Structure 1
Amino acid sequence: MSDLMKTLALSASGMQAQSTRLRHVSENIANTDTPGYHRKTASFEAVLQGGNRTGEVRAGDVKLDRSELNRVYDPSHPLADETGHIQGSNVDLVVEIADAREAQRSYEANLKMFDQARQMSSALLELLRK
């Protein structure tokens, strides 16, 4: 029974990490047109317990993408420099949409694994009752 519970914990940690990733992607998409906005990224880290890997993952610290910001010509903008340009964001919608799909598919895979482990544990409990 402990293996089934470990499977539930593993898939739950994967779903939580992917939901954090999806939150950052949605923040990036929402701030595509925000001047000076740097894209947020988060890597995944292995969870350690007693110095050993548990197999679980968690979202690491949020990092800002330090690639160059786009320059946008808008002389009427209050943040425009002497040439009429402002610094846009470094968010690429194509990349963000691809990241969102990858996070969604990974979340769904973890959800299916969680559901299978839950069904197996229910079936095991039903067998033990008989």
Structure 2
Amino acid sequence: MGIAISGMQAQTTRLSTSANNVANALTPGYDRAVTSLSTRVDGGASASVSPSGEATLPGGPNVDMASEMLDAIGAELSFKANASVFETGADMWDVLMRIKRD
């Protein structure tokens, strides 16, 4: 269940980064942020945010709204998958606790 929680936290960071990019889409010179996902030694996932380093348009940002929407949808689907794993783990825990009581 801990691995699923870390996955949900990583996807929350990913969605937050995408939302920040959309909010700053009209800010001149804004360098979009990117989220890098990686695995942890304990089996979980982690997310780090950094500037893209891509060239910005003269007088404009380097935010592509279509890419941001796709990233947001991907984060949503990944979050749902991790939430499903967490719920399954919680159900298994309940079953084990009932077995232990009986």
TM-score normalised by structure 1 residue count? 0.75
2:12 to 10, 14, 19: 19
1:68 to 33, 40, 55: 55
Give the number of aligned pairs. 102
Q: Provide the rounded CA distance (Å) in 1 between the counterparts of 2:60 and 2:53.
A: 13
Unaligned residue ranges in structure 1 (runs of 5+): 1-7, 49-53, 72-86
2:43 aligned counterpart, secondary structure: strand
2:27 to 34, 41, 56: 34
Q: Provide the rounded CA distance (Å) in 1 between the counterparts of 2:72 and 2:62.
A: 17
Unaligned residue ranges in structure 2 (runs of 5+): none
2:38 aligned counterpart, secondary structure: strand
1:45 offset after TM fit, Å?
A: 2.2
Runs of 4+ in structure 1 over 2 Å off = none
What aligned pairs does 1:69-88 form with structure 2 within 5 A after superposition? 69-71=56-58, 87-88=59-60
1:55 offset after TM fit, Å?
A: 1.3
What aligned pairs does 1:82-121 form with structure 2 within 5 A after superposition? 87-121=59-93
TM-score normalised by structure 2 residue count? 0.94
Q: Provide the rounded CA distance (Å) in 1 between the counterparts of 2:29 and 2:57.
A: 9
Is the strand fraction higher in 1 or 2?
A: 1
Is the helix fraction higher in 1 or 2?
A: 2
